[in-house]
Amino acid sequence: MTTTRAGTVIHVRGLEKSYKGLHVLRGVDFDVVRGSIFALLGTNGAGKTTAVKILSTLLGADAGTASVNGFDVATQAGDVRESISLTGQFAAVDEILSGRENLVLVAKLRHLRDPGGIADELLDRFSLVDAATRRVSTYSGGMRRRLDIAMSLIGEPPVIFLDEPTSGLDPQSRVEAWNSVRELAGRGTTVLLTTQYLDEAEQLADRIAILHEGRIMVNGTLAELRALLPPAKVEYVERRPTLEDVFLALVGTTSKSGERA
């Protein structure tokens, strides 16, 4: 086991990974503190999924060390798997089942007591009560992603990996997914998410690490990252709303049931 500072749940040092000739990770270092939201930010192809796969024991590293919840990903993979859940880039829900049936199924697979009670609690937390008995094939992208996140919470793993949790979602669904992620961290779960969206990292993360050309270029709080740039000149221009502001103002956010208002 690697030595880590108290409170460090994810510890990564010198991680390297190549696919044949392609040197994707070239010495990645970072730490994630318990109960925080950590964003790994990078463009398409930067190596975010590769890093998440290594941390969740789906892929071996070529060099370096990584530990999750105090367990080494290479030598204590079973303990790591019991400590985590992974929500991939594409929702892993069963379309034919209802939302509630999906949740009950996972709770049963994890041999938990009272699968129905667990499902009902999560449906409530993720605003899916009204849609609980409907087939997932009728859900919006945002509802599906919320269900996916809810499924990853069954068994209360201390560490959750979310690989691009809002890719392909419309603006309203993104806001819903963000709220779900905040909910998790509010209860003490450590969240490592990957994203290619600057606004997502800005909205959610306690710390942001930018993965670029195989290494972490910068790693800090939003304030620390902002401080890297010279202070902006004060200009007397009215702040113009972004397209997203306008869209959300016109279309509105969703109601508690997750249905479009």
Ligand X SMILES: Nc1ncnc2c1ncn2[C@@H]1O[C@H](COP(=O)(O)OP(=O)(O)O)[C@@H](O)[C@H]1O
- Contacting positions for ligand X (CB under 6 A): 19, 22, 24, 42, 44-50
Q: Which residue is nearest to Mg ion (CB)?
A: 49
* Residue 136 vs 210, nearer CB to ligand X: 210
Q: Give the other-Cβ count within 10 Å of 222's Cβ.
A: 15
Contact residues for 8 (Cβ-Cβ < 8 A; gap 6+) = 31, 32, 33, 34
The interface partner of residue 119, options being ligand X, Mg ion, none and the CB cut-off 5 to 8 Å by kind, is none
Q: From the CB of 247, what's the least distance to ligand X, in Å? A: 26
**Do residues 2 and 65 lie in contact, with contact meaning Cβ atoms separated by under 8 Å?**
yes
19 binds, among ligand X, Mg ion, none (CB under 5 to 8 A by kind): ligand X
The answer to whether 190 and 206 are in contact (CB under 8 A) is: no
Cβ proximity to ligand X: between 24 and 122 the closer is: 24
Report the residue number, 88 or 258, with the smaller CB distance to Mg ion.
88
How many Å apart are CA 246 and CA 227, to the nearest integer?
A: 29
| Nearest residue to 160 via CA among 58, 71, 33, 37 | 37
**Hunting for tokens 């620390």 — which residue is that?**
224
The two tokens of residue 233 are 């000149």
The single residue listed with the structure tokens 């997203």 is 244
Burial of 65 (0-12, 13-18, 19+ CB in 10 A): middle
Whose Cβ is closer to ligand X: residue 8's or residue 196's? 196
Our CB check for ligand X shows the closer of 58 and 105 to be 58
Cβ 16 to ligand X shortest distance, Å: 13
Nearest distance, CB of residue 196 and Mg ion, angstroms: 8
- Residue 173: name its binding partner from ligand X, Mg ion, none (Cβ under 5 to 8 Å by kind): none
Backbone dihedral angles phi then psi of residue 254, each to the nearest 5 degrees: -90, 160
128/177 with CB nearer Mg ion = 177
Choose among ligand X, Mg ion, none what residue 40 binds, the Cβ cut-off being 5 to 8 Å by kind: none
User: How far apart are CB 77 and Mg ion at their closest, in Å?
Assistant: 21
CB nearer to ligand X: pick between 43 and 221: 43
To the nearest 10 degrees (0 to 180), the angle between helices 243-251 and 171-186 is 90
Report in angstroms how near the CB of residue 168 gets to Mg ion at its nearest.
12
The DSSP element (H or E) to which 105 belongs, if any, is helix 99-109
Tell me the residue length of the chain: 261
Are 217 and 27 contacting, i.e. CB atoms less than 8 angstroms apart?
A: no
Does residue number 76 form part of the binding site for Mg ion (CB under 5 A)?
no
Q: Does 49 interact with Mg ion (rule: CB under 5 A)?
A: yes
What is the nearest approach in angstroms of ligand X to the Cβ of residue 130?
34
Q: Which stretch binds Mg ion (CB under 5 A): 27-35, 46-54, 97-105, 127-135?
A: 46-54
Binding site for Mg ion (CB under 5 A): 48-49
